[in-house]
Amino acid sequence: MKLETFRGRDLNEVFDAARRALGEDVMILRTDVERVGRTMSYVVVATAADHVERFRRRLTPQPLPAGRGRRPVVIALVGPTGAGKTTTAVKLALNPGIFGGRKVGLITLDTYRAGAIEQLGMFSEIADLPLEVVYHTGDVADAMKRLDRCDVILVDTPGHRPRSFEMQAELGALLDMIQPDEVHLTLPATLRVDLVAPLRQSLARLNPTHLLVTKLDEVPGEAGLADLALAADLPARWVGDGQEVPDDVRPATGRITATLGALRGAA
């Protein structure tokens, strides 16, 4: 999606310039005022309307799967270290607006990071959520069986370490056994946009199906959020926008679309 920036001292002239460049159905994403000394000019960020609609459609996820037969719906969170996967998993499990009254269980594959199991365990213990720890592929079948009374299983994974091929292979093998219905690429909103594509490439083995952006509260004006989404090119179901568990997780599509005007890197 191509966004263009138009500037001028007269707002009507700026709008006309945008219409001439992008057509009559131009979508104005943001209007702002720039002051340089005593000089004031208007700044308009715009794109073609059908681009926005294409972006919104790409971002909109399909309805949550119903689960295969009696198998719970399984959703895995993958992504770089520090993205907030563990905290997000707990928010998703307990926020009543996410899965309604469905019973949720947790699996953690993160047996590497110091304190990872205990972090998840503290929340799961308070909230009475069943938690399984899976160390090897041989543990998967029994763990899934012990959680078979759950309607939804959330899978927390270790942070991605690009230089550890062995760890990536192990994680891939574990997820192959678990067969999640959705794999959410979890990225912090503070991530540089140019890192998204290589990250997605290095995580391709894990077959991410969705994007989940976290830490929106750490980015002023949520600028660049749509940039990240464009670069990831995945549907997005949720975003995380704070540290309060379980409140700070919201639906993604409208939130990301609304930030189209607050792009980093628009010309």
Partner 1 sequence: MSLQLGNFRRYMERRPLLLSPQPAREPVLVVGSGKGGVGTSTLASLLAVVASERGSRVLLVDADASVGSLHLLFGVGAGAGLGALRDGETTVADLLVSLSDRLTLLPGGGEPGELGPAERQALFRRVASLYVDYDLVVVDGGSRLESVRSACASAAGRVIAVTTADRVSVAATYALIKALGERFPATPVDLLVNREDAPTSEVVAAEIREASRHFLHQQVGLAGFVPDDLCLPAGVVAGMSLADAAAGSPAALAVQAVASHALHQLTAAIPAFVERHHYRRS
- Confirm or reject binding of residue 110 to partner 1 (CB under 8 A): no
Greatest CA span in the chain, whole angstroms? 71
Tokens of 114: 């110091």
Helical packing angle, 116-127 and 85-94, nearest 10°: 10
3-state secondary structure of 237: strand
By CB under 8 A, which span of 7-15, 17-25, 51-59, 94-102 interacts with partner 1? 94-102
Beta-carbon contacts of 177 under 8 Å, excluding residues fewer than 6 positions away, are 137, 140, 141
d(CA 182, CA 219): 27
- Confirm or reject binding of residue 111 to partner 1 (CB under 8 A): yes
Helical packing angle, 49-59 and 225-232, nearest 10°: 70
Determine which helix (DSSP H) or strand (DSSP E) holds 91, and give its type and residue range: helix 85-94
Q: Which is nearer to partner 1, 18 or 104 (CB)?
A: 104
Using CB under 8 A, pick the residue from 120, 174, 216, 229 that binds partner 1.
120
CA distances from 22 to 10, 18, 19, 96 (A): 19, 6, 5, 43
Beta-carbon contacts of 143 under 8 Å, excluding residues fewer than 6 positions away, are 107, 132, 133, 134
Using CB under 8 A, pick the residue from 62, 81, 201, 243 that binds partner 1.
243
Using CB under 8 A, pick the residue from 12, 35, 118, 267 that binds partner 1.
118
Using CB under 8 A, pick the residue from 43, 127, 173, 223 that binds partner 1.
127
Q: Which is nearer to partner 1, 45 or 150 (CB)?
A: 150
Q: Residues binding partner 1: what is the number (CB under 8 A)?
A: 35
CB of 189 to partner 1, least distance (A): 19
Q: Which is nearer to partner 1, 112 or 251 (CB)?
A: 112
Please provide the distance, in angstroms rounded to a whole number, between the alpha carbons at the two ends of the chain. Answer: 13
Using CB under 8 A, pick the residue from 37, 69, 138, 220 that binds partner 1.
138
- Confirm or reject binding of residue 128 to partner 1 (CB under 8 A): yes
By CB under 8 A, which span of 74-82, 221-229, 238-246, 255-263 interacts with partner 1? 238-246
- Confirm or reject binding of residue 142 to partner 1 (CB under 8 A): yes
CB of 113 to partner 1, least distance (A): 12
Phi-psi region of 82 (alpha: psi -120 to 50; beta: other; left: phi over 0): left
- Confirm or reject binding of residue 132 to partner 1 (CB under 8 A): yes
Which residues are near partner 1 by CB under 8 A? Answer: 94, 96, 101, 103, 111, 115, 117-118, 120-128, 130-133, 135-139, 142, 145-146, 149, 243-247
